Structure 1
Amino acid sequence: MDFNLTQEQQQFAEAIRRWAEKDYGFEQRKHIISSAEGVSKKAWSELAELGATALPIPEDQGGFNGSAVDMMVVMQELGRSLVIEPYFATMVAAECLKQSKAHFDVLEQVAAGEKQLAVALDEKQSRYDLFDITTTATANQDGFVINGTKTVVLHGAQADMLIVSARSSGNQRDKSGIHLFLVDAKSAGVHRTDYRTIDGYRAADIRFDKVQVAPINLLGDENKGWDLLDATGDYGVSLLCSEAIGLMEAINAATLDYLKTRQQFGVPIGKFQVLQHRMADMFMEMEQARSMATLAAVKVSSPNTEERRRTLSAAKARIGQAARYIGQQAVQLHGGMGVTNELPVAHMFKRLTTIELSFGDTDHHLARFVAQPDFKVSA
């Protein structure tokens, strides 16, 4: 299989990298983080002009119908530059709309950069089990009424519309009786509490208090939302894996540069063989993770559900291990400066740590991988 990027993918990556180097440097990022909004409307508009928001959207809705591999290229560049705009949250929600084949008008607005979306899927008791849902959806003559609370909704307070999982029947951890809804974030009864996460992103706890939604806002088949929810979660995992590769490349480059310039005993510390060995190990971890991220991007759209789950969990687990190792080594090689906010490496380490904990940590995905049918332990 040819793993080389196409000319178009390379050009797209280079365009985003040039934009980030020119208009989204480390100082600009720190200014955005400290602002009241925590995001930049200017940066979002520029991403839309570059075509990033339109990339995964179908052509009929004004997009380029990009694949997960195309998205891998974008997420790597955004990760490399520590971009904190609500791109990931919007693209995951857009994928959910694509798979449900509904609300094409919203997809058109996403492609044009006119709307930002978020996925409200997690609850305080659910950990990483997206099917563990206490939020309820009660049918009435006008559609459904949603009641419940979602936690740590990435860019939930910045989103114009939300994808919300809710339960109409069954027990708390049943995979049946689950619905997904598209909800206007400004609907009556939607209460959002915005806050900053450790990596500089924004998240929100969102309470739904008797929120009325129309029947048209139900995504997919009634009571069969789990398959759509599971596929959406795996797509999110694929994007996170790709972002992590860009971060690993950046943190390795920053660490190597530091070893070449920091001197001890009159020579750069990069001359010490033991530190060279560490950098070699970090490089090998990154390349192994890159292979798994590529495989995840290829398999996330597989019609074989078991193969998709198995591959995505394997990738997330392996990349989680690599992210932790590379991040910890980078901080140690930088010494005390590695944990100060003055250096990009500290921010990269925080983001890698958050990625490892998002959409299922390493332990969760190892358990999910083992639980898939046909798993066998070699003798």
Structure 2
Amino acid sequence: MVKPSRSSTPQPPNANPNNSFEVLPAPSESVSSLSFSPTTNHLVATTWDNQVRCWEVLNGSCVPKAAISHDAPVLCSAWTGDGTTVFSGGCDKQVKMWPLTSGVQPITVSVHDEPVKHVAYISQMNLLVSGSWDKTLRYWDCRQPRPVHIQQLPDKCHALAVDYPLMVVGSGNQNLIVFDLQFPQTEYKRMQSPMNYQTRCLATFPDKQGFLVGSIHGRVGIEHLDDSQKDKNFTFKCHRSGESGDHIHSVNSLNFHPVHRTFATTGSDGTFSFWDKENKQRVKGFSRCPAPIPCSAFNADGSLFAYAVCYDWSKGAAHHDPSNATSHIYLHSVQEHDAKPKYRKK
């Protein structure tokens, strides 16, 4: 019998094909959200093991700073504008406020009837907004036990993006609801998503003139708010695999680069890419990771891109094998040529 050559032995997939820096210790379960402080290189991760963890990135290393627990999987996080406080929400139907000060315990500042999918802090209003599967948005003054206002949604809150005064909510049945936060109790505009499948993620344009919408069907839509700019709206395919691109994967996160105004997408195909919407082209594509990328974030100056590689729960608990599951958080050093637009020649 002929022995197989060493070269024919199947090799395990490279867990870190982009040679990114790994944040340790690795979470014991899937990562649901990542968020950087707006003022420092502090990174917060929420995970399905009920944990919220914070690291400080210092000179090429990550130092664990603190952690808190929820009573159920945690799905989202947000920072105050001064970077001193973190909010986290999840399947225990609560939002906790966590001052990053030694010895200060987190307190519950928001309660919903169903899991909390998204949170954002609006510094200009000194209010927290939380979006839930109970089909409401709730605005909170964290000094008061009751919401300042409850906004009914047509369906569950699947996605939320806020950059004052613009807020966009992705709800069920492809509903996109736009708010002018100068008048937060009134819908500014309600529209149908340009995609035929569920909204997965949103991101507001840096100039606040529109937004990106990503769907579970491997597409991103570029939407302008002004009807006179409708000719600039378009959608494009991404996060597809197979020889003919017939394997379609969810677009899981959208993030604008804070300097170059290009944007990043991550997908369930295990890839992430940087795109230029003005020139309708991809700036940089990165190597495929061995598991989905459910979430990502740029730091304040755009020099770091954090992304998680783990099971994304898109196929439910039946496809989740805890004994085999691995979760990783990586930091990728962003070079100028990775994210700066490459303008087309005329």
Q: Per the shorter chain, which TM-score range?
A: under 0.3
Greater relative contact order, per chain length (Cα 8 Å cut-off, separation 6+):
1
Q: TM-score under structure 2 normalisation?
A: 0.26
- Which structure has more helix as a fraction of its residues? 1
TM-score, reference length from structure 1? 0.24
